[in-house]
Amino acid sequence: TDNVGMRPLQLDSTVDLPLTDSVVSCSKPKIVRKRSLDISSDTSGKWNYLDGGRPRRFTGMGGPSLLRPSSQDQNNTLLEPLVQQWIEQSWDHFNANEERTFKQKWWFNDKFGSSEAPNFLMIGGEGVEDADHYLGNETVTWVKMAKEFGANLFLLEHRYYGESKLGTNDLQYLTAEQMLHDVATFIRTRQVKENLAGPW
């Protein structure tokens, strides 16, 4: 494995396999190419249009983008308290006869935005969401970007995780397609209820 410790290196395909009947000492495989894990030293967040318009700090692996702040950043005060809400979602978006619903948790922070502002949406992962960190900590990259662009921040918890639970007997509804429909329903609902005209 490489120095990250999890991923296999790309190996030369001409390495001999050991014989099955006896123990054979194999030479070490030849490394064809090592991965570069260096991130750009430019972490100022400036845009480089030659890199597809992405901030340079996102070009390497293991960058600081969404990691918890270092101990020196722990003293930064959080933004004002976050608003936690719930949206009612269908268990099965692909069945018109489905009557069961579940409540999906979401948070928002509109400190930097308005009804005309762009909307940044983070889709939750496979676990409990830390909204204070991802929406309320100004050391997190996407919060810095929201401040720069005057954007509203939203965090939508993934179905089946955290408090957005469905029954464990119905795991067939834990799919990427169902979650994408959760996201689409969430965006449409927010656009109508809060009159959000900005892009998502």
Q: Tell me if the pTM is above 0.75.
A: no
DSSP characters over the chain: --TTSSSPPEE-TTPPPPPSSS--PPPPPPEEEPPP-PPPS--S--B-GGGTT-BGGGSSTT-STTSPPPGGGTTSPP-SPPEEEEEEEES-TT-TT---EEEEEEEEE-SS--TTS-EEEEEP-SS---HHHHHH-TTSHHHHHHHHHT-EEEEEPPTTSTT----GGGGGG-SHHHHHHHHHHHHHHHHHHHT--S--
Q: Is the pLDDT of residue 198 over 50?
A: yes
Instruction: Average the pLDDT over 23-43 and give the result.
Output: 43
Q: Identify the weakest region by mean pLDDT among 14-23, 125-134, 151-160, 171-180.
A: 14-23
So where are the chain's domains? 1-65, 83-194
Q: Is the pLDDT of residue 11 over 90?
A: no
Q: Is the pLDDT of residue 14 over 60?
A: no
83-194: CATH topology: Rossmann fold (3.40.50)
Q: Is the pLDDT of residue 41 over 60?
A: no
Q: Is the pLDDT of residue 87 over 90?
A: yes
